Structures are given as structure tokens and as C-alpha cells.
Amino acid sequence: MLSDYLPIVLLLVIAAGFAAVNLGITHLVGPRKPNPVKLSPYESGVPNIGDARLRFSVKFYLVAMLFIIFDIEVVFLYPWAVVFKDLLAQGTFVFTEMVVFLGVLVLGLAYVWRKGGLEWD
């Protein structure tokens, strides 16, 4: 029912308002005594060497790509899981289907694992 989502929208508005109040309140109430050292980035108390805006090496990007693939597979499982019992009433073929689908998933995982796709360090 669409009306189920009305409270969620209300909650979103209220939560966002709460966050906005929090963001603003110290701005109004808190003291302000800025100085150059306070406003500089923290790096263990010594002058920085370079800054953080660089092409940072993200070693696990391969795992991140695998994640997207597997995550989509998991989403496919959700509707199927909900109707699993219903379909079972019509015969056990749904279980075979599931084994095949999961089998493909496991095969993929095993392949990636064997190939060292999960080792990135």
C-alpha cells in the first residue's frame, strides 16, 4: 500500500530537520576564535607534506567490482526466496532451479578465489 510510505516520508522530513538543526545550532551558540593553525589540516602536529587531494591507490577495486556483480545476484534471490514455499507446493523443480542458480554463483566465487581475485594486498 502506498499509504505505508507516508510515515516514512514524514520520518525523512523530521530526521532531516533534526540534522539541519544540529548542523546550525553550534554555528549560532558556539564561540568562534579561528586562527591559522586551528584551521589547518591535522597531520600529527607537524607541517603537512603535500595534501590529501591525490590519486590515492585503492588496491581493492577488483573486489569492489566483484561486489557489485555478486550483490545483484543476491538481489535476484530476494523475490525468489519469498515465493519459494508457494512454488514448492507445485513441485520440487524450484529447488533444482535454485541449486543451479546458486551453483553458478558458487562457481563464480570459486573461480575468483582460485584466480587470486580476492587477494589484493
Partner 1 sequence: MDYALESLIKIAIVLGVIITTVAYVVLAERKVSAYIQNRLGPNRVGPWGLLQPLADGLKFILKEDVIPNHVNKAIYLIAPAAILVPALMGFAVVPFGDTLMVVGREVQLIISDADIGVLYILAVSSLGVYGVVLGGWASNNKYALMGGVRASAQMISYELSLGLSLIGVLMIAESLKLSDVVNLQATGTVLGVLPAWFVFNQPIACLVFMVSVFAETNRLPFDLPEAEQELVAGYHAEYSSMKFAMFFMAEYAHMITASALIATLFFGGWHLPGVDPTDSSFALSVLKVLVFAVKTAFFLFVFIWVRWTVPRFRYDQVMRLGWKYLLPLALLNVLLTGLYLTLNR
Partner 2 sequence: MAEESAEAIETEPAEEAPEEIGDPAARALKDRFPDEVLEVSETRGETTVVCAKSRIRDILTLLKDEPRLSFDRLSDVSAVDYTSYPGHEPDTPRFNVVYNLYSHPNNQRLRLRAQVTEDACTIPSVTSIHRGAEWAEREVFDMFGIRFDGHPDLRRILMPLNFEHYPLRKDYPVRGMGERDVIAPEDPGFLGNPYAGEEEEVDDPLGSERMVLNLGPQHPATHGTLRLTLELDGERIVRCIPDIGYLHTGFEKLGEHHTYNQYVTVTDRMNYLSPLCNNIAYSMSVERLMDLEVPERALYIRTILWELSRIADHMVWLGTHALDIGAFTVFLYTFEQRERCYNIFELVTGARLTTSYTRIGGLGWDVPDNFREVVLDFVAQFPAAVEEVERLLTRNRIWIDRTKDIGVISAEDAINWNMSGPMLRGSGVEYDIRKQEPFLVYPDLDFDVPVGKHGDTYDRYLVRMEELRQSQRIIEQALDKLPDGPVKVGDAKVILPEKGEVDFGMESLIHHFKVLMDGHGLTPELGEAYVPTESPNGELGFYVVSDGTGYAYRMRVRSPSFMNYQAYPQMVNGHMISDAIAVLGSVNVIAGELDR
Residues that bind partner 1 (CB under 8 A): 1, 3-8, 10-12, 14-16, 18-20, 22-23, 25-27, 29-34, 38-44, 48, 51-53, 56, 58, 60, 63-64, 67, 70-71, 74-75, 77-78, 81-86, 88-89, 92, 95, 98-99, 102, 105-106, 109, 113, 118, 120-121
Minimum distance of partner 2 from residue 58's CB (angstroms): 7
Instruction: Using CB under 8 A, list all residues that contact partner 2.
Output: 43-50, 52, 54-59, 121
CA distances from 81 to 20, 39, 69 (A): 39, 53, 19
How far apart, in whole angstroms, are the C-alpha atoms of residue 111 and residue 66?
A: 12
CB neighbour list of residue 48: distance below 8 Å, 6 or more residues apart: 40, 41
CB neighbour list of residue 69: distance below 8 Å, 6 or more residues apart: 108
Minimum distance of partner 1 from residue 111's CB (angstroms): 13
Q: How many CA atoms lie within 13 A of 89 on its CB side?
A: 3
Cβ-based nearer residue to partner 2, 46 or 75: 46
